[in-house]
Structure 1
Amino acid sequence: MSEGHSTYTPKSGIERWFDARLPLPRLVHDSFIVYPVPRNLNYAYTFGGILTIMLASQIITGIVLAMHYAADTGLAFDSVEKIMRDVNSGWLLRYLHSNGASFFFIAVYIHICRGLYYGSYKAPRELLWVLGCTNFLLMMATAFMGYVLPWGQMSFWGATVITNFFTAIPLVGDWIQQLLLGGFAVDNPTLNRFFALHYLLPFMLAGVVTLHIWALHVVGQNNPTGIDVKSTADVVDFTPHATVKDAFGMTVFLFVFAYFVFYLPNYLGHPDNQTVANPLKTPAHIVPEWYFLPFYAILRAITFNVGPIDSKLGGVLAMFGSIAVLFLVPWLDTSKVRSAVYRPWYRAFFWLFVANALFLGWLGSRPAEGAYVVMSQLATLYYFAFFVVVMPLLGLIETPRRLPNSITEAVLEKNKASGTGEIAGPETKR
């Protein structure tokens, strides 16, 4: 899909001069206008563009907020309040940024689920998937450090609890913790380090996102059938076919985002974080932001020792392992069929996995006691079993449904079943 000569033709002397020295218009034309995409892409494929918009929003609002923020334990909380009250439109900038983090994660979780459902990680898109997982890891690091900056009660104690888990790592754990904290406890050096890293990491994320998009344009877009493009009838130009769909998806997503910003700005936050950090007063229940709750539940689910590995180290390994296993997905799935549309057993296990992930998120918000611990352990077991047992095993024993011969045939069959008639061929669309 990425092969072929450029069809860009400069229309003026200035365009020809510019194109000969820096072919940026040609790059935009070839990558975002006439770039061929499968004709059967649905709205689940709009979240890549949504994530790009959200990243840009987070960087822009973050830069402006940083101009008014004071990275000092005695001033941080008050500086945030000053932004809210005294800076022109400061309340809007802060709510865009704080709610933007939540909606950034909503979009990325849907994006990951779409990739798992349609097999977007399979050859030749393994590196594309790995780069996406790297983006996810950078997002998590950025969000964790950003959560500390308001210097509220949950910010302080969340940083204290999470950084303390690094001490479970043999030999280097204490050193890693002290490196993060800048000392032996969460204090001013910690806030300065987290602020510096929170400012830097989004630009690293933007760089990896650029590589992610580049890799996508090299190997081509996957599609709901999981079938490779076989002819020009299987594809349409990116503009207007995909851009119109992306624009509509972004509009709906941003409408919901705006509703939370203007009407429920603190709904996704924690009320304890509206109180200034107090090292002498521990909250009754310390929890991270909602988008980390599934991993927090996995961390707390390990309450037993496994040989020389104690429960604390086991929890840390399980939490990081739950993210690391995503990087291995292209090699864990042994099925030759990409899309879950044609894999009935995998589809059932996939939706059970989604429900299990949501259940883990709820368990992460509950106290680590009684039946909640047992349920967390069972949910954690299925989380890992989905990747290391279900994916490899189903690829060997599952009998997929018959695959269409081409993307066009799949679209025609779908349209015939829905009574919408045939689609226009490539000569008609042009």
Structure 2
Amino acid sequence: MSFPWAKEYTPTNPVMRFFDEKLPLPRLVYNAVGAGYPVPRNLSYFWNFGVLAGFFLVLQIVTGVVLAMHYAANAQVAFATTEHIMRDVNWGWMMRYAHANGASFFFIVVYLHIFRGFFYSSYKAPREMIWLLGVVIFLLMMATAFMGYVLPWGQMSFWGAKVITGLFGAIPLVGEPIQVWLLGGFAPDNAALNRFFSLHFLLPFVIAGVVILHIWALHIPGSSNPTGVEVKQESDTLPFHPYYTAKDGFGLGVALILYFALVFFLPNTLGHPDNYIEANPLSTPAHIVPEWYFWPFYAILRAFTVDFLFIPAKLMGVIAMFGSILIWFILPWLDKSPVRSGHYRPLFRKFFYALLVCMAVLFYCGGAPAEEPFVMLSQIATAYYFLHFLVIIPIVSQIEKPEPLPYSITEAVLGSDDKAVLGKNAKTAA
């Protein structure tokens, strides 16, 4: 994002000047996260989650590389090497707990980031590409997390791999060949473990590449803000450093306190106890569940229990599960309201809260047994989920009467900025 009042980077140190002339990396950093990057002055702590997501991605890559040095992707010894890391490798227990709980925190901050985007309509023009790349990142995260869950080769690892890859078998004609290709055979074994380990190691670097594109796309139109009003004047912005580096640093500190409390005192809270039992193809767990961050989509999958005409229930569940995320790709074109922020959209705001309740129900039902009343609740919540995006948002965006918007970001923050008032008066007179 370039503004006429943005500062140009001119290094004074001869060494920095040399590097900036030969390889303009100092200039790039200055313009990306320094005083040369103006951002709206009214960003709240809801805008911290992007930085937190980036931090936890780096944490996952670092801890994952260390763990990979001691792990063997072989069905005969995978469980034993996991226990070896926990018991014999210096600080191995901490690396594993940091990695496992880091994945959970990564998903927590990304879910908060996504729902902040829903409320403030961060997907609207001119930021559609930022949103689309964000959805791609989320899909890559889910694939990476699923493959990582298989690696400890416990009971939930094995049966989770069998159930999830078995979903592809529901696709007519090509489903079974795809399933065999994914597993490298007819059941999870050495071939599947090697493939999943390779992809689990590779995909985080792909995610990092897409994150760079995501940030690049963000710097073209600039950050959105709680009012949804675009930057109009210099007084609407602050330099990213030191104002938002300090704010992000505080948010990161709070997140790390919670994260390390989980790692050191409750490290297995978000995991499943059955995964501390070695994988046994002859013993099916009583209740197969994925990790908690997959629960809403697992609930949508299980909500379809009856065949419809020639379409099997399992196939409808698979289509709905993938469709529940893919629908986010068209969200910028479903919401036609000229107002972005939910603060100024009273009707939209009520339905957004209903969506939060719906997601809470899906989260709970996804981790519950596949029995009543959880199946019925999943079906109701699934129906509302798709109605919200495909029916409610398009209709609300057409019929809703938004509340008056502030003229500028400065007026929304200070309420009495001379430039903002003069600009508003001139606009009113015209």
Does the pair score TM above 0.5? Answer: yes
Equivalent position to 1:274, from 270, 273, 276: 276
Offset of residue 371 of structure 1: 2.1
Paired with 2:256 and 2:50, the residues of 1 have a C-alpha distance of 14
Paired with 1:178 and 1:239, the residues of 2 have a C-alpha distance of 51
Does the residue aligned with 1:328 lie in a helix, a strand or coil? helix
Partner of 1:67: 69
Does the residue aligned with 1:37 lie in a helix, a strand or coil? strand
**Counterparts in 2 of 1:95-244, with a 5 A limit?**
95-244=97-246
Partner of 2:427: none
Cα deviation code 1:148-194 (max 9, x no counterpart): 00000000001111111100111211111011100011111010100
Paired with 2:310 and 2:336, the residues of 1 have a C-alpha distance of 33
Does the residue aligned with 1:236 lie in a helix, a strand or coil? strand
Cα deviation code 1:375-417 (max 9, x no counterpart): 111000011111101110001111110001001111124xx9x
Offset of residue 292 of structure 1: 0.2
Partner of 1:302: 304
RMSD: 1.5
- The amino acid that maps onto 2:15 is I
Does the residue aligned with 1:127 lie in a helix, a strand or coil? helix
Paired with 1:281 and 1:31, the residues of 2 have a C-alpha distance of 53
- Segment of structure 1 superposing worse, 342-351 or 140-149: 342-351
Paired with 2:412 and 2:191, the residues of 1 have a C-alpha distance of 58
1:81 equivalenced with 2:83 (yes/no):
yes
Equivalent position to 1:247, from 249, 260, 271: 249
1:411 equivalenced with 2:413 (yes/no):
yes
2:361/2:377 contact within 8 Å kept: no
- Segment of structure 1 superposing worse, 1-10 or 134-143: 1-10
Does the residue aligned with 1:47 lie in a helix, a strand or coil? helix
**How many pairs align?**
418
Does the residue aligned with 2:72 lie in a helix, a strand or coil? coil
- The amino acid that maps onto 1:13 is P
Paired with 1:345 and 1:32, the residues of 2 have a C-alpha distance of 36
Offset of residue 6 of structure 1: 5.7
- Where in structure 1 do 4 or more consecutive aligned residues deviate above 3 Å? 3-6
Offset of residue 58 of structure 1: 0.0
Partner of 2:94: 92
Partner of 2:9: 8
Paired with 1:242 and 1:117, the residues of 2 have a C-alpha distance of 21
- The amino acid that maps onto 2:46 is A
Paired with 1:172 and 1:306, the residues of 2 have a C-alpha distance of 21
**Counterparts in 2 of 1:246-265, with a 5 A limit?**
246-265=248-267
- Segment of structure 1 superposing worse, 366-375 or 202-211: 366-375
Paired with 1:210 and 1:303, the residues of 2 have a C-alpha distance of 41
Cα deviation code 1:98-134 (max 9, x no counterpart): 0000010000000001111111100000010000000
Partner of 1:399: 401
Does the residue aligned with 2:252 lie in a helix, a strand or coil? helix
Cα deviation code 1:238-265 (max 9, x no counterpart): 0111111100011101110010000000
Offset of residue 13 of structure 1: 2.0
- The amino acid that maps onto 2:307 is N
Partner of 1:21: 22
Paired with 2:3 and 2:139, the residues of 1 have a C-alpha distance of 31
Offset of residue 328 of structure 1: 1.1
- The amino acid that maps onto 2:250 is F
Partner of 1:419: none
1:334/1:393 contact within 8 Å kept: no
Q: Percent identity?
A: 60
Offset of residue 53 of structure 1: 0.4
Structure 2 regions of 5+ residues with no counterpart? 421-430
**Counterparts in 2 of 1:289-328, with a 5 A limit?**
289-328=291-330
TM-score by length of 1: 0.95
Paired with 1:371 and 1:82, the residues of 2 have a C-alpha distance of 42
- The amino acid that maps onto 2:384 is Y
Paired with 1:206 and 1:3, the residues of 2 have a C-alpha distance of 28
Paired with 2:99 and 2:313, the residues of 1 have a C-alpha distance of 36
1:146/1:195 contact within 8 Å kept: yes
Offset of residue 2 of structure 1: 2.7
Structure 1 regions of 5+ residues with no counterpart? 417-421, 426-430
**Counterparts in 2 of 1:37-76, with a 5 A limit?**
37-76=39-78
Does the residue aligned with 2:238 lie in a helix, a strand or coil? strand
